[in-house]
Amino acid sequence: MNKSLSVIVPCYNEEEVIAESYGRIKKMLTKLDHPSDIIFVNDGSVDRTEQLLSQFAKSDKSVKVLSFSRNFGHQKAVTAGLHYCTSDMAVIIDADLQDSPELIPEMILTMEKANAQVVYCVRKTRKGEGFFKKLSAKVFYRILNFFSEVKLPVDAGDFRLLDKSIIREFNKMHEKGKYIRGLISWVGFKQIPFYYEREARFAGETKYPFSKMLKLATTSMLYFSTKPLKLATTIGFFSVIISLGLAFWSILGKIMGFTHADSGWTSLFVLIIFFGGVQLLTIGIVGAYIGNLFDEIKNRPEYIIEKKQNFETGKDEKTKQ
Ligand code: UDP
Ligand code: MG
């Protein structure tokens, strides 16, 4: 018997695209000779997404729906999908059809041929995205790799195929700030790339405004590296060296008479703002880590599910770690 497959789709205000995505995913799954289901995670949408998903679930028992009590964010939605997945394999895919569901059979073949546990999709091109989004993504993946203590594939999003062994390990991770693609790389096993063209969004607008992108970037940075802390120490060290040099220079100048203390206002002013800046920056870096510790220690649930559809009761809770 072929391995079973779950397609996990996080959705936030996707009323314009959700019917088309469901149709295309369903069509692909019907052709595929694997037992399958689709897990839609409605991340607190305020439009008609929930009603539409509910309709699909009523007429198609292979559609499972998890609805959050509010918007918890894309990474939490995918996490919930993985917690509730009981299949042998799972694909994480966006609802907006930027990542074509038609590629999934090819991804499964790639996984089988290479005997891999993860097939991660790398974007060769990104259609329909603005210059700023493309540039920020390019710069982001490279900066992150510089800081990260785990090697993270560049230009790869969350669109990927995972084997059960990876899902099992992922579900054991209890940290609240999740950068999923990083955590999956961290798990290890055999992970191979799959190159594809990223399409333009089918309809509607991006649900990832700059603020959410920044939050994802900071989570990834802070959870995958302590290099920023070391950087703070390095900056502090150099500022001490500079200040010692300047102190030596000004004392020597006073004794030998080559500095004029009364005309030193500008240099004094520049030095005060420079060292003030260095201090605030380093305190900020330390503060960011403390903030995350605070979030982790509170130990609140990562997300709250308001409604479930087509999950067998009793079994649902068991799959959740
Ligand atoms: N999404 C979500 N919660 C959010 C933001 C986005 O579940 O708070 C979903 C969204 O519905 C989509 C996926 O995450 O399926 C990726 O979002 P989007 O396509 O807007 O991001 P972009 O491709 O522009 O980076
Ligand atoms: Mg998108």
Give the model's confidence band at 262: pLDDT under 50 very low, under 70 low, under 90 confident, else very high.
Answer: low
Give the model's confidence band at 319: pLDDT under 50 very low, under 70 low, under 90 confident, else very high.
Answer: very low
Establish if 314 belongs to a structural domain.
Answer: no
Ligand nearest to the CA of 77: 1
Which of 81, 93, 153 lies closest to 302 in space, CA to CA? 81
**CB under 8 Å to 287, separation ≥6 — which residues?**
none
- Binding site membership of 73 for ligand 1 (Cβ less than 6 Å): yes
Residues 68 and 200 in one domain: yes
Q: What is the 28 CA–ligand 1 centroid distance (Å)?
A: 22
CA terminus-to-terminus distance, the chain: 27
Tell me, what's the pLDDT at 239?
84
Residue 135 CA: distances (Å) to CA of 132, 278, 318 = 5, 28, 43
Residue nearest to atom 14 of ligand 1 (CA): 74
Tokens standing for residue 248 = 């030596």
pLDDT in tens, 196-219: 888 887 877 888 878 887 888 888
Q: Are 33 and 118 in contact (CB under 8 A)?
A: no
Residues 150 and 38 in one domain: yes
Q: Are 243 and 275 in contact (CB under 8 A)?
A: yes
Q: Residue 70 corresponds to which amino acid?
A: R
86, pLDDT greater than 50: yes
Number of domains observed in the structure of the chain:
2
Tell me, what's the pLDDT at 321?
43
- E-strand stretches of the chain: 5-11, 36-42, 63-68, 89-92, 118-126, 156-163, 191-198, 305-309
| The ligand 1 atom nearest the CA atom of 129 | 24
Residues 169 and 20 in one domain: yes
- Binding site membership of 14 for ligand 1 (Cβ less than 6 Å): yes
- Binding site membership of 77 for ligand 1 (Cβ less than 6 Å): yes
Ligand 1 pocket mutation pick from 46, 74, 141 by most atoms within 8 angstroms of CB: 74
Residues 24 and 122 in one domain: yes
Which of 278, 271, 277, 287 lies closest to 234 in space, CA to CA? 278
Establish if 244 belongs to a structural domain.
Answer: yes
Tell me, what's the pLDDT at 313?
65
Q: Residue 19 corresponds to which amino acid?
A: A
Q: Is the dihedral of CA 285, 288, 290, 296 positive or negative?
A: negative
Which of 111, 36, 78 lies closest to 303 in space, CA to CA? 78
Three-state secondary structure readout of 268-317: HHHHHHHHHHHHHHHHHHHHHHHHHHHHHHHCCCCCCEEEEECCCCCHHH
Residues 91 and 182 in one domain: yes
Q: Average of pLDDT values for 57-73? A: 94
Q: What is the 203 CA–ligand 2 centroid distance (Å)?
A: 10
Residues 133 and 50 in one domain: yes
When comparing pLDDT for 53 and 248, which is higher?
A: 53
- Binding site membership of 43 for ligand 1 (Cβ less than 6 Å): yes
Residue 246's domain comprises: 227-298
Establish if 140 belongs to a structural domain.
Answer: yes
Q: What is the 50 CA–ligand 2 centroid distance (Å)?
A: 19
Residues 82 and 188 in one domain: yes
At 163 the three-state DSSP class reads strand
Residue nearest to atom 3 of ligand 1 (CA): 74
- Binding site membership of 178 for ligand 1 (Cβ less than 6 Å): no
Residues 184 and 245 in one domain: no
- Binding site membership of 206 for ligand 1 (Cβ less than 6 Å): yes
For residue 162, the domain's CATH number is: 3.90.550.10
Residues 152 and 271 in one domain: no
Residues 102 and 51 in one domain: yes
Establish if 85 belongs to a structural domain.
Answer: yes
Residue nearest to atom 8 of ligand 1 (CA): 73
Tell me, what's the pLDDT at 267?
75
Q: Average of pLDDT values for 15-34? A: 93
Residues 182 and 283 in one domain: no
Pairing of strands 89-92, 36-42: unpaired
Model-level pTM? 0.82
Q: Average of pLDDT values for 104-112? A: 94
- Binding site membership of 12 for ligand 1 (Cβ less than 6 Å): yes
